[in-house]
Structure 1
Amino acid sequence: MKRRIAGAALFGLGLLSLIVAAALAWVIVPAQKQVPYDLQPPDVVVEASNATFAQATTLPDGEVEVAVQQGGLRNQTGIKPDYQAAADLTGDLAGKTLIWNVYQATDRVEDGSPVNRAESRIALDRVSGAAVPWSGQCHNDMKEVKTENVGCIPGNVNFTGQLYLFPFDTEKKTYQYWDSGLGAALPMGFAAEEEYNGLPTYRFQQDVPSQTMPMDAELVEGLLGFLAPGAHSGSVSYQASRTIWVEPQTGAIIGYQEKQHRELVPDVGTPVVLFDASFQYDEKTKAAVLAEAEHGRNLLNMLGLYVPIGLAVLGLILVVLGVVVARRKPRGEEHQPAHAAEPEPTAVPHA
């Protein structure tokens, strides 16, 4: 009886291990593949050497001057999650959406003088990492003259596609990736599987052909006045290319390269280069995003692969052991005959 009880206990424990293994691999871990609300992404810095760029400066008399400069550029992006705004979301966005405040600063490497400042508010899906429709989306390029800044006005932009994250279990396909110059998401296609910075990655490529860039007419007029004073009208042409390396399990972008070229095209005279630069992550950023991707990847592998495999092996062993123990007979019963043999009668000799 005791052996049957022990066997049943081992069998039940093994069955439980198999159930937990299956739940981890196919239910629990897949359900947890979403960006946590408390994720604080590291600051991202991209740098470009020998860049050409138009820079606005304030002269001693208070006047603003725009001139084309050359030198190194450093762009820093900082992200601050807005937990309260995410918690206040209702409807289809509730429980599924991140709200991020994004701050960007572009400075000259040589002297640290500011070239551009911008701020945004964006809603991102916690699983796909893509932007989702939200009335609070906004973007503001801060002006040189602070009194002209109106802040980030909700609803003045419609972010779509991937921006800072790719989906968990990124696929080898074409995604829509946000282009800030055109204010639209454009196709970014899978190019190859590559090892980057020690991790297996998917490399994606986006090429934006030369086209007219949508810009405020007053801003174009101002640029013409500084850089093409003989022109009466004009436009800005834009082209870009981006290469990114994505760790596919987590969707983390661990490598980034971008080339941008913008020209002021006046109705008379030759075009003026407003911006020409090739950016890539600096070494500190590469190390930070690599560490974050490795941590996420190791956690997913441990909980979604190694632990379930271990539990499954243990469960099978316990199930088999339980069956064996339950069916095995006690040692005494194994050697005892079914019935005792009757002694043969012995003849008694007659005297």
Structure 2
Amino acid sequence: MPALVLVGLGAFLITIALALVFFVVPTQKKTPLDINTTTVTNTTQGAVLVGAALAGNSPTELNADRPECRDGGANDDEDAAGGSPDEGATDDEQVVETPGGPAADDSDVQFPVTCFIDNDIPLYSQRRVQAVEPSDAEIITFQAAQSLLREDKSGSDGVEGLVNASIDRVTVDRVTAEPTDEAVSTLQLAATGAGDETAPAGFVRRGLQYKFPFDTEQRDYDYFDASTFTTNPISFVGETTVGGIDAYEFRQELGPIDMWSSIRDHFASISDGYDPAVEAVLASYRREGMTAGQWGLAGDPEREVDMRRFYTNTRTVYVNPETGQVVNGSENIYQFFAEDQDEAEAFVNDAAGMEEERAEPTRTAVRFESGWNEETQERTLSAAQETADTLNTFGRILPAVLGVLGVLAVLGGILLGVRGAAGGRTGRGTRATRGARGDGVAGPAPRA
């Protein structure tokens, strides 16, 4: 009887161990439905083209005392503003500018674009990601509100320091983190105030973004870039550790990408026409009617140019492979204006020219290079470690312990049963032998 109990107990423990590995842990390898995280970058020195100042032909406060920003050549204010007054109402430091910015200057002074670029200013980015509906046992919808801000312009409501903002929604598989095949993803480019916003039309998205799959592999993945509405590969670089946690490093080199064309193509693919908000967005990525001299371009300074905004980014993310959680990240974002793709590529590949532009920007729209701050890293690492510990406990440690105990119990039960059976056979054999002797050996003969 004890042997059967041990065998039964061992079988039960082994069953529990297998159930943990093949049934319980897989259910744990799903993105939690209570996601609510905030990431904040370090504050670093960057540059921003202040579109409201450009539209109003009014040099920024930081540039007002520069000689070239006090004495410009003659031209009409419509050219200096980059087009008609309505077209100039979009803000290049924002995705969409709040209407009602500074009125256009009444003078005929044609200020160079450098008068509207604030350089060496403190910038930081923050993003809040939370789970929203629709979300269920198989899918989760992330809503990410992201903004780039000037620390030197933070007003009481935060709007004054806002450079750009977006609200992104994407529905993904809770295990693979891949977007669903339905046209439910939206990306809303938001104004800084009571102005227009792009309508959040749904579209099908490809590529990872806010999370990697559980059991991340050492390979390239598709990754979605919200600034250009494009999907591009992000490459596996190598293994490392972040704060003592195992991590895979991935890196993505983008650009230069023509932002006006990529955003136009995106909206054209999901709708038959543009609403006024989309037109405003597109206007902020293209500047017509200004002169080469205003942009600091070589050649005839009076030559009229058509300038489009281009985008480059070196994105680095560190992913805990077991959980797929991003535990650290950085971006080197640079947006600038150029006449066409060839000129944009020549510009960014000219190291000396880029250094000059960094020191004295003449065509920069946004320059922001930063990574997660220490507090964000600590909070993210703690959450990743907690998830990894749970998976390790239920996926490895507990099944191993239960499995070993189960095997020992089964072996012990079998051994006890074998010994019991052997002991029983020995006892019966001894009694039988004794009985045989009693029947086959004659006792002493009786005396006469």
TM-score normalised by the shorter chain: which range applies? 0.7 to 0.9
Corresponding residue to 2:241 among 189, 192, 195: 195
- TM-align CA RMSD: 3.2
Q: 1:224 to 1:301 in 2, by over 3 A?
A: farther
The answer to whether the Cα contact below 8 Å between 1:211 and 1:237 also exists between their aligned partners in 2 is: yes
TM-score of the pair, normalised by structure 2: 0.67
The answer to whether 1:36 aligns with 2:32 is yes
Output one character per residue of 1:141-188: Cα deviation in whole Å (capped at 9) or x when no partner.
2224513235x4232x54321111000000000001112222111111
- Find the partner of 1:263 among 336, 346, 355: 336
Query: Cα distance, 1:298 vs. partner?
Result: 0.5
Deviates more, 1:98-107 or 1:229-238: 229-238
1:126 to 160, 164, 174: 174
Shift of 1:248: 0.2
What's the CA shift for 1:49? 0.8
Mapped partners of 1:23, 1:52: distance in 2:
56
Please state if 1:219 is matched with 2:284: yes
Between structure 1 and structure 2, the one with the greater Rg is 2
User: Does residue 167 of structure 1 match 2:210?
Assistant: no
**What are the superposed Cα offsets for residues 70-101 of structure 1, whole Å, 9 maximum, x if unpaired?**
31212111123214x235xxxxxxx4211122
Q: Indicate how the Cα distance of structure 1 residues 47 and 329 shifts in structure 2: closer, same or farther if over 3 A, else same.
A: closer
Give the counterpart of 1:81 among 131, 153, 165: 131
Instruction: Tell me the residue number matched to 2:195.
Output: 147
Instruction: Indicate the structure with greater strand content.
Output: 1
Single out whichever of 124-133 and 287-296 deviates more from structure 2: 124-133
Local SS of the residue matching 1:173: coil
Tell me if the contact between 1:56 and 1:115 (Cα under 8 Å) persists in the aligned partners: no
| Offset at residue 335 of structure 1 (A) | 6.8
Give the C-alpha shift of residue 273 in structure 1. Answer: 0.9
1:62 Cα deviation (Å)?
Answer: 4.2
Amino acid aligned to 2:131: P
**1:1-351 residue pairs with structure 2 within 5 A?**
5-37=1-33, 39-56=34-51, 62-64=100-102, 67-69=116-118, 70-83=120-133, 85-87=134-136, 95-112=137-154, 113-149=161-197, 152-155=199-202, 157-214=203-260, 215=263, 216-221=281-286, 228=295, 231-266=304-339, 272-329=363-420, 337-339=430-432, 340=434, 342=438, 345=443
SS where residue 249 of structure 1 aligns?
A: coil
**Greater Cα offset, 172-181 or 227-236:** 227-236
What is the rounded CA distance, in whole Å, between the counterparts of 1:292 and 1:170 in structure 2?
Answer: 17
* SS in structure 2 at match of 1:130: coil
The number of residue pairs the alignment matches comes to: 334
- Identity score, percent: 21
C-alpha deviation, 1:109, in angstroms: 2.1
CA distance in 1, matches of 2:407, 2:9: 10
For 2:101 and 2:225, the matched residues in 1 are separated by: 32
Measured in 2, the distance between the counterparts of 1:80 and 1:194 equals 28
